[in-house]
Amino acid sequence: MKLRDLGEFGLIDRISRIVLSTDPDILVSIGDDTACVKVGDRNWLLTVDTQVENVHFIKSKINPVDLGWKLSTSNVSDVVSCGGKPRFALVSVSLPKNLEVEFVEGVYRGIKEAQEYYGFKTIGGNITSSNQIMVDMTLIGESQTFIPRSSAKEGQYVYLTGFTGLSRVGLEMILSGKGVSEEEVYFIKRHYRPLARLDKLNTILRFAKSSIDISDGLVSDLYHISEQSGVKIVLEKDRVPVDDKLRLYCLKNRTDPYDYILYGGEDYQIVFTSDELIEEEDIYLIGYVERGEGVYIKEEGRVSGLSKRGFNHLV
């Protein structure tokens, strides 16, 4: 069988069966946004994320500082979604021998900006040669608790920390060679300089029962909560926040903004479920949890199923 027949998530299942093992100090293992281990009286959250040339970025189109920033943000976002504060990072890079030194230094400048912004420290890593640029970060976070994907329950509300779909528009603009007008810069910045929602960590810790960060797309990531919790999730279409500039962009291009909002990836907002009604800036109530399975959308009283498409490496 080839990897493309299995897909990213099928492969995770199979390799889990090979390496998965238990230990009283492992609180959460493979299958969530981070793993969680207990050391002394602290919980440490561990995650790793990679950016690969021609998969995640095109060298001629990205500023290396942005690459370092985005690598850091994708990791910080996973730690935040599990209720942790980012602390320590290891950075491993694979680099072609003819790559300019300035490019590599730029990546590390982006990591430095991110570590100052998010408050973690880089403490080591590894360097190897390769045909393609690959930058990989292992991030360790700290938390008193752990908020998994698997604890959503019937009767809970679903919350989102902000607009989605903007990064996807930015990517389209980058690929079509745009990036001049104010509007284009707005979207491209959302793609290259996304912000992990560390500013909402206290809210997540206080209210969230289950949580995930949006890397693959709102619907696709909600499917992870739905499947791992064994519940049905219903989005209320008129409650899902729509960015004004995205609405305008779609109007101009005669495209459906919800294609971006529901299925665009890499916005790094957090979607979580809670028992409580929350009134707070940048915390949008977008739906609810019911008994059943799958992810649905409700519009003018009609409920319809949402397909699972979203980003899957290997397919």
The edge-to-edge listing of strands for the beta sheet with 42-52 is: 26-28, 35-39, 42-52, 134-143, 85-95, 121-129
Closest CA to 26 of 11, 9, 12, 45: 45
In the complex with Mg ion, which residue's Cβ is closer, 148 or 170?
148
Q: Is 136 in the site for Mg ion (CB under 5 A)?
A: no
In the complex with Mg ion, which residue's Cβ is closer, 33 or 53?
33
Minimum distance between the CB of residue 304 and Mg ion, rounded to whole angstroms? 26
**Pair 225, 103: CB distance under 8 Å:** no
Q: Please, what is the Cα angle at 49 between 22 and 139, to 5 degrees?
A: 70
Q: How many residues contact Mg ion, by CB under 5 A?
A: 6
Residue 56 main-chain phi, psi, to 5 deg:
-100, -25
**Which stretches within 161-280 are classed as H helix?**
166-175, 182-192, 201-207, 218-229, 244-253, 257-263
In the complex with Mg ion, which residue's Cβ is closer, 210 or 215?
215
Closest CA to 295 of 219, 200, 210: 219
Give dist(CA 151, CA 145) in Å, integer: 13
Minimum distance between the CB of residue 313 and Mg ion, rounded to whole angstroms? 9
Six-digit token string for 296: 């649905």
Q: What is the torsion angle, in degrees rounded to the nearest 10, for the CA atoms of residue 21, residue 23, residue 29 and residue 30? A: -10
Other CB atoms closer than 10 Å to residue 105's CB: what's the count? 13
In the complex with Mg ion, which residue's Cβ is closer, 66 or 78?
78
- The window from 94-102, 111-119, 150-158, 207-215 that contacts Mg ion (CB under 5 A) reads 207-215
In this chain, which residue has its C-beta nearest to Mg ion? 33
What residues numbered 215-234 form the site for Mg ion, per CB under 5 A? 215
In the complex with Mg ion, which residue's Cβ is closer, 213 or 267?
213
In the complex with Mg ion, which residue's Cβ is closer, 74 or 210?
74
**Pair 300, 309: CB distance under 8 Å:** no
Distances (CA, A) of 208 to 72, 213, 298: 23, 12, 23
Among 53, 66, 78, 216, binds Mg ion (CB under 5 A): 78
Distances (CA, A) of 299 to 236, 275, 302, 313: 6, 23, 5, 31
Minimum distance between the CB of residue 51 and Mg ion, rounded to whole angstroms? 10
Minimum distance between the CB of residue 277 and Mg ion, rounded to whole angstroms? 26
Among 213, 216, 266, 267, binds Mg ion (CB under 5 A): 213
Minimum distance between the CB of residue 159 and Mg ion, rounded to whole angstroms? 16
Minimum distance between the CB of residue 15 and Mg ion, rounded to whole angstroms? 14
Minimum distance between the CB of residue 228 and Mg ion, rounded to whole angstroms? 12
- The window from 53-61, 75-83, 234-242, 293-301 that contacts Mg ion (CB under 5 A) reads 75-83
- The window from 16-24, 67-75, 99-107, 274-282 that contacts Mg ion (CB under 5 A) reads 67-75
In the complex with Mg ion, which residue's Cβ is closer, 173 or 295?
295
- The window from 73-81, 111-119, 244-252, 282-290 that contacts Mg ion (CB under 5 A) reads 73-81
What residues numbered 25-64 form the site for Mg ion, per CB under 5 A? 33, 49
Give dist(CA 38, CA 101) in Å, integer: 39
User: Would you tell me which residues interact with Mg ion (CB under 5 A)?
Assistant: 33, 49, 74, 78, 213, 215
